[in-house]
Amino acid sequence: MRSFWKELPILVVIALALALLIKTFLVQAFSIPSDSMQDTLQRGDRVLVDKLTPWFGSEPERGEVVVFHDPGGWLGESQTSSSGPVAEGIQKALSFIGLMPSAEEKDLIKRVIAVGGDTVSCKRGGKVMVNGKPLDEPYIFPGNTPCDEKPFGPIKVPEGRIWVMGDHRQDSLDSRYHQNLNDGTVSVDDVVGRAIVIAWPIGRWSTLPVPSTFDQPGLGAAAMAPSALGFAGALPIVLWRRRRLIAKVRTEATSRPQRLTADC
C-alpha cells in the first residue's frame, strides 16, 4: 500500500501530461454556448474537435463543422466572470489541460460553406450558391430560410480563407454579418480544428459528417476553370501551328530534287 501512495503523484503527473498532450495536438473538447448551430448542435453539447490533421497540412473543407478563434470582434465584448478567485483558478487549471472549456479563449463554431477560390452568394428567396451550384441544406434549423434575413454576394473567397455560416440562420452572426472585415471570411490559420463527434450528453452522441450536397459534381469546378479554359484555348492554336509546320515540310520535300545514293 505504501508503494501505491509513493507512485500516485507520479501517476497524476503522467495523467496530466498526457491530457495536456492530447489537448494540444490531438483532440480537444468544446462546449456549445449558443443556439447558432441548431438543430445540428444544441446549447450545452460537448463536441470533440480534431486538432491532429491540421498539423499535417489539412485545411477545412466545404460542409465541415469547425471551431475557430474570433477573427476580430465577432463575439463583441466579453462579459466578466462573476465567480470567485478560487473557482476561476480551478477553471484555468482544468482548461489548461483540456478538462474544462476556457473562459478566456474566444472561439466560435460554424459550418464551412465555401473555401479559397470559391464564389459564394445567396439571394432572398433562393438557395446558397457555391460556384454556381445550389446547396440543398437539410441541416438548416426548421422554419429558417437559407439567407432571407441577410442576402449576400457574390463574394470571391480568397485563398487561405473560408466562408462560414451557422445552421440556425436566423440566430447566427456569421460571415454574412462581418463583411466589413475581409468580406466576412475567416483565415484558415484561425481554425482550431474540425468538430467530429458530439460526445455529451450521451443521449445525443453522434458523428458530424459532411452533408452530401457538398459532394455534388461540379461544385469545385470553378477553382479549375481558369486552367481548363486556358488549355482549351491553347489547344486549337497548337494544332493549327502543327498543321502549318507539316504542310510546309511536305511542300519543301516535293519541290526539292531528290538525291540518290550509290552503293560504291
Q: Which residues are identified as catalytic?
A: 36, 110
The three three-digit cell numbers of residue 26, written as one number: 490531438
Under DSSP, is residue 56 helix (H, G, I), strand (E, B) or coil? helix
Rounded Cα distance between 19 and 249, Å, is 75
Cell of residue 15, nine digits: 495523467
Cell of 209: 459528417
**E-state strands within the chain:** 27-31, 46-50, 65-69, 107-115, 119-122, 128-130, 133-134, 152-156, 161-165, 186-187, 191-200, 206-207
